[in-house]
Amino acid sequence: MAFSPLVDELVESLRCLPGVGQKTAQRMAFHLLERGRSGGTRLAAALNHAMDGVRRCDSCQNFSDTEICQICEKPERRNGTLCVVESPSDLLAIEQAGDYKGSYFVLMGHLSPIDGVGPEEIGIERLLDRVRREGVTELILATNPTVEGEATAHYIADRLDGQNILITRLAHGIPVGGELGYVDGFTLTHAFRGRKPLSE
């Protein structure tokens, strides 16, 4: 940048954030220096606290500040229903929807044999242990509706074959408030196949 190595270092470091290129990083750095120094110092502290302090819950693999996370600690959430997601952000989206009251297991992504990511790497063995130990009655496989997510769901279902557990997937269909004209063909096909009587 030719005028301040410290500004250069800040711009370069901001680029570790997803979606932040050179121009955006410059704009962020200048904003913090001109109008947000206290925010910048607070962000530095929050980064240090989180990078050092956030771990994976021993029970569900979600982010947690403690060995067992705040969701797993609540006994009322161990109601026999366990929802499997690919990432903490999926769990967050479900929690923010607010309707689901069971417990979770957060996979470390999805199976990807081509990248050497097998069942052990994403925690499927731990999931299966937990399903057996806790007497889970319904396992909701809420992995993403992608090729890898579907493959991961089928792998888990296969491993639990013959055990008396209801295994479910989330319904596909038209998003609430969505316009038919903007919905892709696969989703429309699923929505037609899953159609229900109006009285329901």
Which residues contact a copy of itself (rule: CB under 8 A)? 1-7, 9-10, 12-14, 16-19, 24, 26-34, 36-37, 39-51, 53-54, 62-65, 69-71, 87-89, 91-92, 95
Tokens of 85: 């997601």
Q: Pattern of binders to Zn ion over 36-65, x per CB under 5 A?
A: ---------------------x-xx-x---
Work out how close the CB of 60 gets to Zn ion at its nearest, in angstroms, rounded to a whole number. 3
Q: Which of 10, 29, 69, 83 binds Zn ion (CB under 5 A)?
A: 69
| Cβ 101 to Zn ion shortest distance, Å | 15
How many chain residues interact with Zn ion (CB under 5 A)? 6
Count Cβ atoms within 10 A of the Cβ of residue 97 and give its class: 0-12 exposed, 13-18 middle, 19 or more buried. exposed
- 101 vs 132, which CB is nearer to a copy of itself? 101
Nearer to Zn ion, 62 or 87 (CB): 62
Nearer to a copy of itself, 51 or 114 (CB): 51
Q: Which does residue 59 bind out of Zn ion, a copy of itself, none, counting CB within 5 to 8 angstroms by kind?
A: Zn ion
Residue written as token pair 């499927």: 124
CA 119 to CA 169: how far, in whole Å? 19
Closer of 97 and 180 to a copy of itself (Cβ): 97
Phi, psi of 81 (to 5 degrees): -105, 130
Q: Cβ 200 to a copy of itself, closest distance in Å?
A: 31
Task: Select the binding partner of residue 7 from Zn ion, a copy of itself, none (C-beta < 5 to 8 A, by kind).
Answer: a copy of itself
Q: Which long-range contacts (CB under 8 A, 24 or more apart) does 51-60 make?
A: 56/106, 57/106, 59/130, 60/103, 60/104, 60/105, 60/106
Decide whether 72 or 111 has the Cβ nearer to Zn ion. Answer: 72
The CA–CA distances, whole Å, from 199 to 61, 97, 127, 151, 195 equal 40, 24, 38, 35, 12
Helix, strand or coil, per DSSP, at residue 10 = helix
H helix runs in the chain, sequence order = 5-14, 22-35, 37-53, 88-97, 119-122, 124-134, 147-159, 185-193
**Binding footprint of Zn ion on the chain (CB under 5 A):** 57, 59-60, 62, 69, 72
